[in-house]
């Protein structure tokens, strides 16, 4: 593959054209309003475009997807082997179905502009369409490890023609126990191929992969391993058990979108029902829901049919929805990395956001330790129902609505999967086997254009239900939001 890399002048603001990307790719980016690269893209593109192995670290929302997608597409388009059945030329491994779908939503239009074809591969859905797509021939496979290994063992996919391999969110794959499968898949790819690894943290487990599979990699880091976001405001609300639900309800009833995190799937389901019963339109997102239910619930949250999303940690890296101004930790996470990833659903691509952690008397020591390890200094306040601080954290009139039948059904867990290990089946054979080895998450995401160039994603499911009344939208004096502000295409990740 030709070396088309170019290093932009250090005295000027770089554009994507400065890195030697093909004109057709630059023009496709420009049509989406993507003109200037994010720091992680500026740092890695010269080396990735030249074919070097790259090790990149950047927090969620830093633009990692385009950092590997652009050189991968550019370099594949520069070589001209014919598309062959069952033999993709590039492989991207991701820990969750939702992330795989989001990467594909970002890459598919760019790949199409260069005459390339992409395909997602993950569990929780019937394998037949994936097998057929591989038989028809694809250039780029975006896969979760479990289902891809099933297809490889079944003879539907062969990795001996892979030219470029990418591991995205490698630290999360390590946390979820996927590294043995990842290693078996990487062992099937040619050693001479280019390999890129992107991660929010670079710890011991990742170091094993780097030493075994990357050849003299160039390391680029745009932030520290656990750095908080400067545009994010942190609060800890010290509550008693009786007032906890009232405070969460009050914050969720404020205008705009709110993501609430719980520690367990049962907790997410129970809290969603409680919020709906109190007039807050909420949907749940966790591993016990089928793929279709997850897709539907996220779409309802994205289009405003539901104003609050109640999720578990498994979704902390995969929810990409614009204008989430408030994240509430209904249950404090166990460790600081989970706190940072949960909180990263707000204050994305330079926008401001607020994070609230609910703290009971028995949790004071754990929460203080969590804040210290996360490198944050939250404002700690003892509050009860109707405390004036609540309207400062989430400004605007509280609105309680009659929850629509669609939202109520979603909040009641309609479409729950049957297999607790796999996070649910979407119907059809093969939904369990690899799904049990893949993190459960949503199949689509919604996002809006960042001010510069962040990664892009599209909503793939139509939502049902009635949109939340306009009175719930934040005004200029509160947290900004309007349903029209949601782009169905693009977002910095």
Asked if 356 contacts 393 with a C-beta cutoff of 8 angstroms, the reply is: yes
Please tell me whether the overall predicted TM-score, pTM, comes out greater than 0.85 for this model. Answer: no
- By CB neighbour count within 10 A (0-12 exposed, 13-18 middle, 19+ buried), where does 134 fall? buried
Asked if 163 contacts 474 with a C-beta cutoff of 8 angstroms, the reply is: no
| pLDDT recorded at residue 159 | 98
| pLDDT recorded at residue 23 | 94
| pLDDT recorded at residue 413 | 58
d(CA 168, CA 103): 9
| pLDDT recorded at residue 430 | 42
Task: Please provide the size of the chain in residues.
Answer: 493
Three-state secondary structure string covering the chain: CCCCCCCCCCCCCCCHHHHCCCHHHHHHHHHCCCCCCCHHHHHHHHHHHCCCCEEEECCCCCCHHHHHHHHHHHHHHHCCCCCECCECCEEEECCEHHHHHHHHHHHHHHHHHCCCCEEEECCCCCCHHHHHHHHHCCCEEEECHHHHHHHHHCCCCCCCCCCEEEECCHHHHHHCCCHHHHHHHHHCCCCCCEEEEEECCCCHHHHHHHHHHCCCCEEEECCCCCCCCCCEEEEEEECCHHHHHHHHHHHHCCCCEEEEECCCHHHHHHHHHHHHHCCCCEEEECCCECHHHHHHHHHHHHHCCCCEEEECHHHCCCCCCCCEEEEEECCCCCCHHHHHHHHCCCCCCCCCEEEEEEECHHHHHHHHHHHHHHCCCCEEEECCCCCCHHHHHCCCCCCCCCCCHHHHHHHCCCCECCCCCCCCCCCCCCCCCCHHHCECCCCCCCCCCCCCCCCCCCCCCCCCCCCCCHHHCCCCCCCCCCHHHCCCCCCCC
Domains of the chain in sequence order: 16-221 (3.40.50.300), 232-420+440-461 (3.40.50.300)
CB proximity list for 120: less than 8 A, separation 6 or greater: 100, 101, 104, 130, 141, 142, 143
Nearest C-alpha neighbor of 318 from the set 180, 182, 426, 169: 169
d(CA 105, CA 302): 16
CB proximity list for 393: less than 8 A, separation 6 or greater: 235, 251, 326, 354, 356
d(CA 183, CA 115): 30
347-380: burial string, b at 16+ Cβ within 10 Å, e else: bbbebebbbbbbbeeebeeebeebbeebebebeb
| pLDDT recorded at residue 202 | 72
Tokens read off for 372: 């210290």
| pLDDT recorded at residue 271 | 98
Contacts 24+ apart (CB under 8 A), 368-371: 370/332, 370/333, 370/335, 370/336, 370/339, 371/234, 371/236
Each residue's pLDDT tens digit, 172-186: 888 888 999 999 999
Q: How many CA atoms lie within 13 A of 85 on its CB side?
A: 6
d(CA 341, CA 199): 12
Q: Which residues of the chain have pLDDT under 50?
A: 1-7, 9, 225, 417-493
- Tokens 């659903």, located at residue: 345
| pLDDT recorded at residue 53 | 97
| pLDDT recorded at residue 411 | 62
| pLDDT recorded at residue 292 | 83
| pLDDT recorded at residue 30 | 93
d(CA 376, CA 61): 18
């Amino acid at each position: 593959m030709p070396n088309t890399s170019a290093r932009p002048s250090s005295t000027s603001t770089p554009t994507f054209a400065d890195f030697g990307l093909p004109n057709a790719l630059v023009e496709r980016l420009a049509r989406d309003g993507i003109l200037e690269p994010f720091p992680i893209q500026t740092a890695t593109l010269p080396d990735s475009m030249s074919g070097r192995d790259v090790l990149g670290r950047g927090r969620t929302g830093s633009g990692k997807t385009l950092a590997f997608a652009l050189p991968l597409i550019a370099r594949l388009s520069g070589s001209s082997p014919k598309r062959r059945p069952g033999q993709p030329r590039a492989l991207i491994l991701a820990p969750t179905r939702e992330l795989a779908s989001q990467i594909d939503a970002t890459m598919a239009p760019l790949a199409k502009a260069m005459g390339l074809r992409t395909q997602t591969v993950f569990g929780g859905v019937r394998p037949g369409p994936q097998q057929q797509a591989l038989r028809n021939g694809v250039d780029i496979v975006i896969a979760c490890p479990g289902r891809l290994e099933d297809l490889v063992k079944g003879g539907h996919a062969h990795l001996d023609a892979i030219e470029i391999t990418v591991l995205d969110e490698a630290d999360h794959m390590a946390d979820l126990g996927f590294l043995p499968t990842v290693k078996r898949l990487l062992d099937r790819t040619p050693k001479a191929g280019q390999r890129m690894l992107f991660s929010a943290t670079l710890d011991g487990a990742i170091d094993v992969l780097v030493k075994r599979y990357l050849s003299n990699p160039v390391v680029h880091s745009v932030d520290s391993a656990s750095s908080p976001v400067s545009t994010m405001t942190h609060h800890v609300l010290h509550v008693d058990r009786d007032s906890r639900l009232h405070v969460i309800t009050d914050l969720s009833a404020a205008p705009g979108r709110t993501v609430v995190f719980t520690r367990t799937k049962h907790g997410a389901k129970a809290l969603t029902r409680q919020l709906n019963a109190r007039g807050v339109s909420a949907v749940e997102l966790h591993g016990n829901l089928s793929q279709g239910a997850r897709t539907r619930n996220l779409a309802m949250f994205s289009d405003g049919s539901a104003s609050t999303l109640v999720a578990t940690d498994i979704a902390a890296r995969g929810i990409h929805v614009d204008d989430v101004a408030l994240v509430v930790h209904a249950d404090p996470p166990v460790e600081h990395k989970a706190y940072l990833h949960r909180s990263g659903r707000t204050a994305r691509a330079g926008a401001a956001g607020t994070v609230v952690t609910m703290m009971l008397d028995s949790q004071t020591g754990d929460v203080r330790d969590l804040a210290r390890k996360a490198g944050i200094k939250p404002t700690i306040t003892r509050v009860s129902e109707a405390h004036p601080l609540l309207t400062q954290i989430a400004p605007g009139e509280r609105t309680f609505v009659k929850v629509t039948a669609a939202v109520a059904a979603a909040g009641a867990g309609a479409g729950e999967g049957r297999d607790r290990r796999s996070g649910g089946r979407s119907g059809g054979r093969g939904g369990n086997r690899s799904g049990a080895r893949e993190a459960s998450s949503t199949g689509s995401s919604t996002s809006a254009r960042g001010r510069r160039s962040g990664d892009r994603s599209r909503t793939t499911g139509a939502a049902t239900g009635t949109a939340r009344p306009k009175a719930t939208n934040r005004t200029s004096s509160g947290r900004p939001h309007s349903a029209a502000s949601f782009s169905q295409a693009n977002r910095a990740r």
